[in-house]
Structure 1
């Protein structure tokens, strides 16, 4: 909830017209007309929020909620109910209350002054059976800076992903929907509606009003285009929370941004989770990961407050993006985590990859491999009851493409040999077992390393070593990948062709393999 700070001289006049509260009903909209008809009953025990406070409907579905002059008022969708969708397939679960509108002089349009709220503000829920076993799409950073890149996003990601939406129930984009040009929010929505699913959106640091003077107002255009930046909903036996975790301007120096939460966001999380069954799986989505590299990237007090609020939920998953690499982190005591088991954060690879860089593929779209060697793609969150599995789909490649094997094409027979086999397991975690074998011999374990991915490194070097200008834009320099495994490439197996096979047993117990050949030739 955004709080208006008033001078004493204007307090009395403001009190005269400000609406202090709102009441209404959450009801089962059996005929789907969006209106509460006399025959339609209220739904009890449903959460309604103003962005900070959270109340629960009574036995008749009635709620009563405090207001300021700047609120997103929304229902937290319960399981076994659906929400009507707008023309872009965005759920219409909220009403904006902003009688003074957004601050003036924003470069990108915010919310116009809203009309007086009705005597009753009612929220329609459509009865709908929901399985506790379901799959949803997870997109990291589309981050389009131009209409050309919007079209890249459509061709590289959406045109493929929309053919795989059978059995999927909704999708989430984890922020940086666009790249600072907020007029591209609407073209992004136009592309995303083709997914044909309800779609939820997270605000990213490139979706903010960069001319805002206070973090409270950095999401004005996002609110206009997508609604609340902090909200929640239920599906099956899973509770989903979406949070804005970007402080802008950075309160340390007034420049740039900082990962973290305002107090009203912490209050919202605490207030709404008190009504969530501890048996549920809780999935929390935001843009900036909790811990990465230099810990100064995230405000420590609000991070600790966040972790303390969620610590009593045994089934948790954090989803983030932002990094344009892919990783899985497991937090414990050294991070300040006090839960009963490690806290898993999946930092999702991006749909824009390495910002639409690299050579153009056969579709005229930049290859855009990420700096840790993860190809551009999108993720699936697969939930069964209150447990989850994760999967990553490389755009434009077969479903089974999970590993890239780097190895020499040819090496000399016997003698000195420094050649290595490196397996980049795109979804790799510290809990995975990675093995290899040559020519169907016995399986041997590979060693996990943190290094530059050699396949990606060679891709970047191609740009620097080429004597002719390549099409597209040079990729970014490589960054350390934490999902690599390696072993020495044997050269004592005899002259001829040999097959390397890598087998991964992942943290969910799934097994998959990948192969490639190399050749041993006599020394010259």
Structure 2
């Protein structure tokens, strides 16, 4: 018993709750939507509220009570059928920051101003809303402008395309909202506001305060602009857990960062899941993918504890970004997943693409194709109960553009060639079926290959071969694409123009197609 008490005390000290106090408050139905609790407004029972570690439910009258220290974000976990108020920038008002002394004054970028003594009551308003099991969310990976000019590219190439969009419940950006200059957080917020949706955010490694010595202080400016870096909410039959998975400084070397979670963050996940029905879809969103690569990029013990906490939830999905490529990752028992069906992580393509590199496209913004051949864009997740379907939308293109086909434009009749037909299926995984046919002939399976996308190499090579300096930034060197297929190109057909058609079946059973043509000419001898 004594050891248990010591462990409890250690937990309090590690989470900033050692200066023990209590926060009390009321979760209520804000009938007149004025943002304050009036005398006749009633409380809402069984609503989860958290201090960032512990989670409790409101009582039958809507009251809650939690321990609080000198640095806590207290927040309501939005229940199904309700919405939280939005501020004038469409950011959800679901939290109260308790920092009596404020953020450290030595920070390069401003943090949270001193909040003063804890209010007598920290209340949260909720408004009823119609919420169906079928809805769509809009997902951004890494907007990441480093300059005001790049923020203009983000607005022109992405925001204008989705501004005023209908039939979408809310949006979520998966970190790296900006590129190190945290003064751009507010301009980023103003840009995203133009979409007209409630917008959630999470922190990335380029949204941090680098002039701190402990990870718990690396989100001070993010908190000032967006609120807690770890939180949760419900919508429909989905429970969302938003997490900061960037450990800074790297706990192993003291330099740079490492993917992972602090103990208090995983304690929050554990406490939160106690109040989540097992038949819900649990969506976890964070910046750095869980793929730990022998522990070099993500701390394996943290991933394992997260997997252990999810073992009784049959419906799960993880969302990440960070890589500036796109991939579907599946974790099975070999990776520590504790269910028969693998856990799916969608590592999303980014709205900044390859960091706003490349030549200007028809929109007047850098093409910024990612180094795996995925064009820059954004995603829609369509939820139906506890199931989901993910669509990737290439910026500036029709939504049907899901495959890039690359091949020679002309080949010699009857000549052997090592050239081939390549298909980059942007949302693909090498287990998908991808087929090709020539001139409406028989469908033939294409072979998944691990190689650089030749279409991307064609974009990259002019930067190294041009004798004139190109405007803009040279794209990143190509990497092997995880969603590339190949087949031989026929040269023994009649001379003339021939059609190529590629089709791919995605993990949801849908068929995507792309067409092209090439010519066969009489072979030329040396």
State the TM-score, normalized to the length of structure 2: 0.95
- In 2, the alpha carbon distance for the partners of 1:487 and 1:523 equals 21
- In 1, the alpha carbon distance for the partners of 2:419 and 2:249 equals 49
Partner of 1:213: 213
- In 1, the alpha carbon distance for the partners of 2:362 and 2:398 equals 16
Q: CA deviation at 1:364?
A: 2.7
SS at match of 1:463: helix
Cα distance 1:405–1:44, how it changes in 2: closer, same or farther (>3 A)?
A: same
Q: CA deviation at 1:292?
A: 5.5
Alignment of 1:303 onto 2:303: yes
Q: CA deviation at 1:118?
A: 2.2
Partner of 1:414: 414
CA contact (8 A) 2:415 2:523 kept: no
SS at match of 1:436: strand
SS at match of 2:366: coil
- In 1, the alpha carbon distance for the partners of 2:253 and 2:157 equals 39
Partner of 1:9: none
1:141-180 equivalent positions in 2, closer than 5 A: 141-163=142-164, 165-180=165-180
Answer with 111-120 or 255-264: which moved more: 111-120
SS at match of 2:268: helix
Answer with 73-82 or 291-300: which moved more: 291-300
- In 1, the alpha carbon distance for the partners of 2:496 and 2:117 equals 80
CA contact (8 A) 1:4 1:69 kept: no
Cα distance 1:477–1:270, how it changes in 2: closer, same or farther (>3 A)?
A: same
1:503-514 equivalent positions in 2, closer than 5 A: 503-514=503-514
- In 2, the alpha carbon distance for the partners of 1:324 and 1:216 equals 26
Partner of 1:499: 499
- In 2, the alpha carbon distance for the partners of 1:122 and 1:172 equals 25
SS at match of 1:48: strand
- In 1, the alpha carbon distance for the partners of 2:248 and 2:160 equals 34
Cα distance 1:292–1:463, how it changes in 2: closer, same or farther (>3 A)?
A: farther
Encode CA deviations 1:211-245: one digit per residue, 9 max, x unaligned. 01100100000000000000000000110110000
CA contact (8 A) 2:178 2:184 kept: yes
- In 1, the alpha carbon distance for the partners of 2:386 and 2:362 equals 42
Q: CA deviation at 1:471?
A: 1.8
Cα distance 1:414–1:295, how it changes in 2: closer, same or farther (>3 A)?
A: farther
The unaligned stretches of length 5 or more in structure 2 are 1-9
Partner of 2:360: 360
Q: CA deviation at 1:105?
A: 0.5
Partner of 1:33: 34
Q: CA deviation at 1:469?
A: 1.3
SS at match of 1:520: strand
1:304-319 equivalent positions in 2, closer than 5 A: 304-319=304-319
- In 1, the alpha carbon distance for the partners of 2:510 and 2:410 equals 32
- In 2, the alpha carbon distance for the partners of 1:430 and 1:521 equals 34
CA contact (8 A) 1:2 1:68 kept: no
* Structural RMSD (CA): 1.6
Partner of 1:426: 426
- In 2, the alpha carbon distance for the partners of 1:61 and 1:181 equals 41
Cα distance 1:99–1:186, how it changes in 2: closer, same or farther (>3 A)?
A: same
CA contact (8 A) 1:29 1:40 kept: yes
1:55-66 equivalent positions in 2, closer than 5 A: 55-66=56-67
CA contact (8 A) 1:2 1:216 kept: no
Q: CA deviation at 1:19?
A: 6.6
- In 2, the alpha carbon distance for the partners of 1:472 and 1:128 equals 46
Cα distance 1:114–1:4, how it changes in 2: closer, same or farther (>3 A)?
A: farther
- In 1, the alpha carbon distance for the partners of 2:93 and 2:249 equals 30
Alignment of 1:22 onto 2:23: yes
Q: CA deviation at 1:167?
A: 0.3
Aligned residues: 514
Partner of 1:351: 351
Encode CA deviations 1:125-161: one digit per residue, 9 max, x unaligned. 0011101100010000001100000101000111102
CA contact (8 A) 2:420 2:486 kept: yes
Q: CA deviation at 1:419?
A: 1.6
- In 1, the alpha carbon distance for the partners of 2:114 and 2:252 equals 32
1:370-381 equivalent positions in 2, closer than 5 A: 370-381=370-381
- In 2, the alpha carbon distance for the partners of 1:256 and 1:118 equals 38
Partner of 2:126: 125
Encode CA deviations 1:284-343: one digit per residue, 9 max, x unaligned. 000000116554111111111111111211111000000000000111011111123100
- In 1, the alpha carbon distance for the partners of 2:295 and 2:455 equals 29
